[in-house]
């Protein structure tokens, strides 16, 4: 492996840094914030987290082979006796970001950065799978996409990597600008602008402002912007930018895609068109939203030079991330586990998938609250009733203070429904109720822990 190294000069260039015992420093090719994962000769950055303070493990990591440590200046009185290089900074979290930015500048890899209100983790994983057909690719693990996760992903790459795929998350203004400036993307993709995190980002214009930071940073370095032509807010950003590539279902898009038909179990048969070439294939992920995620990912793959054989090869290897539209078919029922998170757009998409599955005539939705939607949260929950009615979903079980509004609306619409005030009551109801002959969707925001109800359903198989 060709190693990236952090030199003494790199450390001196950190803002307001001071180095104790600099003569003992040797360039490092490993950086860690986890005291349990220290390689000999590595640099340890002592980060204070929610549960642990890395400063409490400094002496332990030195015993385990760390050759230098980065600590906050205010903590130095505890470590004056150390004879290894000690780098003093105001905030170690900022030092992590600063060193990741230096590391990125020494990589040979092209950086692909992704954000969006929905689908960014799935899209990131699809991009990683497709690009691995042609390139040595590294990507964000899970949804490790914040001010800590993005730098750590960059620091995991080496000079042999050809593409680095990064996911950027946010729930407050300024977070994407921070991580994008560390990543310095060559390609930037925003999946969509939706209603996630409205409690902090106020409205969809606020979401656009925050997400667009990824484009702004990329454009400053003449990178390529992948624009979702189907998103009314995104289609008009950077209209005159020379490195602008569009994707979507519209004829005006550079890369076009559509679903031609659905199988009985809800899987789509799809078409892609780019530069006069057409690809038609069975798509092994469920739901229209997953195809939209794939179309976004394919636009990156086409732009990076993948051919039809490589695209089709990657398609066959796709799988849904855990708790994101995971469809399991059992002898007498089908379960859609989409419990990772929820917002109005993803909830609508999942309910539409439930409506398209024809293996079972009875359709049941078990829904928990959608969180962080701000002042309009009750309207968003109430609005799901029309989606449920349109997709002919027979029965809806709800839990959570916000979902009570949906339940009341469903009662008015004459749709079979039941609202539960307690988790134990819903759990016991699922255990005792006969779900045979049904397709069942379980979905809600992360804080609702809806995966626990999906586990109870699986136990009935």
How high is the pLDDT of residue 143?
76
Architecture of domain 8-90: 3-Layer(aba) Sandwich (3.40)
DSSP 5-67: -B-HHHHHTSTT-EEESGGG---BS-EES-TTS--TT-EEE--B-SS-BGGGGHHHHHHTT--
Which residues are paired to 261 by β-bridges?
Answer: 269
Strands 43-45 and 31-32: parallel
> DSSP label at 118?
S
Element (H, E) at 280: strand 277-282
Element (H, E) at 208: helix 204-211
Kindly list the strands in the beta sheet with 416-420, ordered across the sheet, starting from the edge strand earlier in the chain.
Answer: 326-329, 333-338, 438-443, 362-368, 395-399, 416-420
Closest CA to 310 of 134, 54, 123: 134
Strands 395-399 and 244-248: unpaired
How high is the pLDDT of residue 199?
54
Distance between CA atoms of 359 and 353, rounded to whole angstroms? 12
DSSP 328-356: EE-SSEEEEEE-S---HHHHHHHHHHHHH
The residue extents of the domains of the chain are 8-90, 107-315, 326-458
How do the pLDDT tens digits run along the chain, 461 residues long? 568 999 999 999 999 999 999 999 999 999 999 999 999 999 999 999 888 899 999 999 999 999 999 999 999 999 999 999 999 999 999 999 999 999 999 999 999 999 998 889 999 999 999 999 999 999 998 778 999 999 999 999 999 999 999 999 887 888 999 999 999 999 999 999 876 555 555 677 778 888 999 999 999 999 999 999 999 999 999 999 999 999 999 889 999 999 999 988 888 999 999 999 999 999 989 988 899 999 999 999 999 999 999 999 999 999 888 898 999 999 899 999 999 999 998 899 999 999 999 999 999 999 999 998 888 899 999 999 999 999 999 999 999 999 999 999 999 999 999 999 999 999 999 999 999 999 999 999 999 999 999 999 999 87
How high is the pLDDT of residue 434?
92
Q: E-assigned strands of 377-458?
A: 395-399, 416-420, 438-443
Structure tokens at 14: 């950190």
How high is the pLDDT of residue 256?
97
Backbone angles phi, psi at 317, to 5 degrees: -100, 0
Closest CA to 205 of 176, 171, 229, 233: 233
How high is the pLDDT of residue 170?
83
Kindly list the strands in the beta sheet with 68-72, ordered across the sheet, starting from the edge strand earlier in the chain.
Answer: 18-20, 86-89, 68-72, 43-45, 31-32
Question: At how many degrees (to 10) do helices 344-356 and 288-303 cross?
Answer: 110
How high is the pLDDT of residue 50?
82
Spell out the CATH class of 107-315.
alpha beta
Structure tokens at 229: 């032509």
Q: E-assigned strands of 118-218?
A: 137-139, 163-167, 187-190
How high is the pLDDT of residue 374?
84
Count of C-beta atoms within a 10 Å radius of residue 331? 6
Kindly list the strands in the beta sheet with 277-282, ordered across the sheet, starting from the edge strand earlier in the chain.
Answer: 137-139, 163-167, 110-115, 187-190, 224-228, 244-248, 255-262, 268-274, 277-282
Looking at CATH, the fold of the domain delimited by 326-458 is given as 3.90.190
């Amino acid at each position: 492996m060709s190693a990236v190294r952090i030199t003494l000069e790199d450390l001196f260039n950190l803002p307001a840094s001071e180095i104790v015992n600099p003569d003992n420093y040797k360039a490092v090719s490993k950086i860690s914030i986890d005291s349990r994962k220290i390689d000999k000769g590595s640099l340890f950055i002592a980060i204070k987290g929610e549960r642990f303070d890395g400063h409490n493990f400094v002496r332990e990591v030195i015993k385990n082979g760390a050759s230098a440590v980065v600590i906050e200046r205010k903590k130095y009185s505890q470590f004056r006796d150390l004879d290894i290089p000690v780098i003093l900074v105001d905030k170690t979290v900022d030092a992590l970001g600063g060193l990741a930015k230096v590391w990125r500048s020494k990589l040979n890899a092209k950086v692909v950065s992704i954000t969006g209100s929905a689908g960014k983790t799935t899209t990131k994983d699809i991009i990683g799978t497709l690009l691995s057909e042609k390139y040595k690719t590294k990507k964000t693990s899970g949804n490790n996409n914040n001010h800590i996760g993005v730098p750590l992903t960059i620091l995991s790459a080496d000079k042999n990597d050809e593409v680095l795929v990064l996911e950027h998350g946010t729930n407050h203004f300024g977070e994407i600008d921070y991580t994008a400036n560390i990543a310095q993307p060559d390609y930037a993709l925003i999946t969509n602008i939706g209603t996630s995190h409205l409690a902090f980002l106020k409205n969809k214009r606020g979401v656009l402002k925050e997400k667009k930071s990824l484009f702004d940073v990329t454009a400053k370095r003449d990178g390529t912007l992948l624009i979702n032509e189907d998103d009314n807010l995104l289609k008009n950003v950077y209209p005159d930018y020379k490195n602008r590539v569009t994707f979507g279902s519209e004829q005006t898009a550079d890369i076009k895609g559509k679903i031609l038909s659905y199988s009985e179990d809800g899987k789509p048969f799809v078409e892609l068109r780019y530069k006069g070439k057409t690809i038609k294939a069975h798509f092994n992920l469920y739901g229209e939203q997953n195809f939209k995620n794939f179309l976004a990912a394919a636009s990156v793959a086409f732009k990076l030079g993948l051919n039809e054989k490589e695209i089709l090869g990657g398609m066959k290897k796709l799988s849904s991330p855990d708790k994101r539209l995971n469809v399991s078919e059992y002898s007498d029922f089908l379960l859609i586990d989409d419990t990772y998170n929820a917002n109005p757009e993803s909830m609508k998409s999942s309910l539409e998938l439930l409506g398209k599955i024809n293996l079972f005539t009875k359709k049941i939705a078990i829904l928990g609250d959608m969180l962080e939607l701000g002042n309009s949260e009750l309207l968003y929950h109430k609005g799901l009733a029309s989606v449920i009615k349109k997709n002919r979903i027979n029965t809806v079980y709800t839990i959570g203070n916000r979902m009570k509004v949906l339940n009341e609306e469903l009662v008015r619409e004459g749709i079979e429904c039941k609202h539960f005030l307690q988790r134990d009551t819903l759990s016991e109801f699922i255990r005792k109720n006969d779900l045979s002959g049904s397709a069942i969707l379980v979905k809600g925001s992360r804080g609702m822990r809806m995966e626990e109800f999906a586990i109870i359903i699986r136990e009935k198989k």
